[in-house]
Structure 1
Amino acid sequence: MTISKNTTLTAIPGFRVGHWTDPVGLTGCTVILCPPEGAVASASFLGPSPGTREGVLLSPDKKVERIHALLLTGGSAFGLGAAQGVVKVLEERGIGHETPWARVPIVPAAVIYDLGVGDPKARPDAAAGEHAARTASGQPVLRGRIGAGTGATVGKYLGGGVPGGLGSVFLERHGVSVGAVAVVNAIGDVLDEQGRVLAGPGTGPGAVSFTPGDVESTTLVAVVTEHALTKADCKRFADAAQCALARVIHPSHTFLDGDSAFMLSSAAKPAADPLLLGALVQEAVCAAVRDAVRMANPSAE
């Protein structure tokens, strides 16, 4: 029997991923569980409309360094409530930031706007987040129209759009490795490795005018590594992940986007060459975005 190699984020030891999916309402959520001791983390939020929970806490100047899980979810601001279910599971397991009276799980979250795709009343809630957390595993990440990518769409500048989905990759070079997950809900087209349109109309904006509010879009990316990073390092790599979105989505970071990028480090291995690690972060983001639309659109090529 041939055993397939894990080429997704969970190939990074200590990190597990779980989904909750509503195939009727067309929404869902995805949870990345960190090792029990947590992961050093920071984030980069670009665009005027990011929907987040605990986002400010991830700034390098804030006190708490480690998070214990990350939630990526549909349902717009309503979906942030799913984080409470993740907190419940972690509390049961005795995982969290140590305080004098309790361990407090730190669970940042970010949302996409998918209310116009399926049922606008269908939203991930605390029970959905709890399910995703309880079913999280180190098995290869399930990808496509699943979890937070269920209602994601791309290429929406002419209206409509095509499925965006959720993608995940693992990259390793010269002993340095990263894993990434992307939830691709972009206004722009997604481009392939040669710069050709992989998903979307491919004409560019202009043929049809729209005003703010006509389209709400956000791409979420999370990159993890074992290599030791400070919180400030994580912020720089999260910024690099945002730059990668501009290589694979056209146009990217529009005034209707709320793109969010997270960088997590378990610090289980010594620090790596920052130039190589930065290159892998960007390559992983591009690859995860392309993987999302390919898995959500099997005939995209």
Structure 2
Amino acid sequence: MTPGPRNLITDVSGLRVGNAEDRALKSGTTVLTADTPFTASVQVMGGAPGSRETDLLAPDKSVAKIDALVLSGGSAFGLEACSGVTEALRAQGRGFAVGPARVPLVPGAILFDLLNGGNKDWEQNPYAALGRRAFEAAAETFSLGTAGAGCGALTAMVKGGLGSASLVLDSGVTVGALVAANPIGAVTTPGERHFWAAPFEIDGEFGGLGVDTAAGLGRDLASRRMEAMQRMADGAKLPDERANTTIAIVATDADLSKAQCQRMASAAHDGIGRAIVPAHMPGDGDLIFAASTNARPMGDPSELAAITHAAALCLSRAIARAVWLARPEPGDLLPCVSEIAR
């Protein structure tokens, strides 16, 4: 397995990704779409998810294909980004045909970034407009780090962000991941000079900082993020620390069914567990969509094992890339790992 030419989820031919963000808001939206509808499913392992239209992605539901997937900041307000994407698709005449009507199908998931230092004093919910802008910006190349849904993301100790990575299997199948990393846990080991995902790094794609050789790790649950957010809350208690989430998409060009996509999403959660410590906590909303463009027939059903494994590897690398590529901006609550690790 080697990374695709862009090392992005858009190495899966036919997929496009667009970002839109508001720097003053310190939030944004990311949209994955394609020229034609694609198969998708979902798996949720966090204890506090926020999502829209995920039920229709279950293998036993009748919807066969969807038009776009949305990752957004903004907590519950960010679900409106899906509405903006739906309107943009409708304007293009796209969507599920019901007689003369067209109904675009746009599942989405959100992360909490309401206490990150940005100006949230809006008069009108900004996320529908951000969703539409992100959809209209969709292309094969896109920004990582402090961009799109990762614009205002934070980890336990440093800034989070938007990440992506890909792998091309020996069979020619391509697998990719796209993630907005905003977890309750840490993406770096204590000291912020090594990534938990370091064993999976390829060609220095997130700094080449190497593996932490210390033992007994994982017991320190310190969080600069929660301390900073508690100050932003002005003394109000943050209920159950429900202010986190890693939301992601894994995708492939292999011809997968909805049930096989769900299996890929389930396996990809291992990628979160390998790159974030702790992960899948009661206050996290960890959710992974899985998508297939159905472009490449699978010659052997056993190939699904390699595809699901590659999805987990891509997601671990994408999470680390999201954090490594985050950049400092005015009003940040946390430093960037690239400032600390040098």
Structure 1 residue 22 corresponds to structure 2 residue 22: yes
Alignment partner of 2:220 out of 204, 215, 240 = 204
Supply the distance in 2 between the matched residues of 1:65 and 1:121 (Cα, whole angstroms): 40
Supply the distance in 1 between the matched residues of 2:25 and 2:103 (Cα, whole angstroms): 32
Aligned to 1:232: 259
State which drifts further: 211-220 or 107-116.
Answer: 211-220
Name which one, 1 or 2, has greater alpha-carbon Rg: 2
CA RMSD of aligned residues (A): 2.3
Supply the distance in 1 between the matched residues of 2:21 and 2:238 (Cα, whole angstroms): 31
Matches within 5 A, 1:72-91: 72-91=71-90
Supply the distance in 1 between the matched residues of 2:121 and 2:56 (Cα, whole angstroms): 30
Q: What SS is found at the alignment partner of 1:154?
A: coil
Q: Is the 8 A contact 1:19 1:131 kept in 2?
A: yes
Deviations 1:182-222 (A, max 9, x none): 1000111111324639xxx9762279999744451100110
Supply the distance in 1 between the matched residues of 2:340 and 2:267 (Cα, whole angstroms): 27
Aligned to 1:193: 198
Aligned to 1:282: 312
Supply the distance in 2 between the matched residues of 1:275 and 1:21 (Cα, whole angstroms): 36
Q: What SS is found at the alignment partner of 2:105?
A: coil
Q: Is the 8 A contact 1:16 1:137 kept in 2?
A: yes
Q: Is the 8 A contact 2:11 2:174 kept in 1?
A: no
One-letter code aligned to 2:155: V
Matches within 5 A, 1:121-200: 121=121, 124-138=126-140, 140-155=141-156, 161-174=157-170, 175-190=172-187, 191-194=196-199, 196=212
Aligned to 1:263: 290
Aligned to 2:230: none
Supply the distance in 2 between the matched residues of 1:221 and 1:135 (Cα, whole angstroms): 19
Supply the distance in 1 between the matched residues of 2:126 and 2:9 (Cα, whole angstroms): 23
Q: Is the 8 A contact 1:29 1:74 kept in 2?
A: yes
Supply the distance in 2 between the matched residues of 1:19 and 1:45 (Cα, whole angstroms): 23
One-letter code aligned to 1:248: A
Residues paired across the two proteins, number: 288
Supply the distance in 1 between the matched residues of 2:61 and 2:115 (Cα, whole angstroms): 36
The alignment's TM-score, normalised by the length of structure 2, stands at: 0.79
Question: 5+ residue gaps in structure 1?
Answer: 156-160
Question: 5+ residue gaps in structure 2?
Answer: 188-195, 200-210, 228-236, 327-335
Deviations 1:38-72 (A, max 9, x none): 11000011222111010111111111021110010
Deviation at 1:271, TM superposition (A): 2.0
The alignment's TM-score, normalised by the length of structure 1, stands at: 0.89
Alignment partner of 1:223 out of 241, 245, 250 = 250
Q: What SS is found at the alignment partner of 2:281?
A: coil
Q: What SS is found at the alignment partner of 2:221?
A: coil
One-letter code aligned to 2:309: A
Aligned to 1:50: 49
Supply the distance in 2 between the matched residues of 1:206 and 1:116 (Cα, whole angstroms): 18
Supply the distance in 1 between the matched residues of 2:304 and 2:278 (Cα, whole angstroms): 28
Q: Is the 8 A contact 1:189 1:202 kept in 2?
A: no
Supply the distance in 2 between the matched residues of 1:196 and 1:113 (Cα, whole angstroms): 29
Q: Aligned residues: percent identity? A: 37
Q: What SS is found at the alignment partner of 2:179?
A: strand
Aligned to 1:33: 33
Deviation at 1:176, TM superposition (A): 2.0
Aligned to 2:332: none
Structure 1 residue 119 corresponds to structure 2 residue 149: no
Q: What SS is found at the alignment partner of 1:274?
A: helix
Supply the distance in 2 between the matched residues of 1:206 and 1:74 (Cα, whole angstroms): 24
Supply the distance in 1 between the matched residues of 2:165 and 2:79 (Cα, whole angstroms): 25
Q: What SS is found at the alignment partner of 1:252?
A: coil
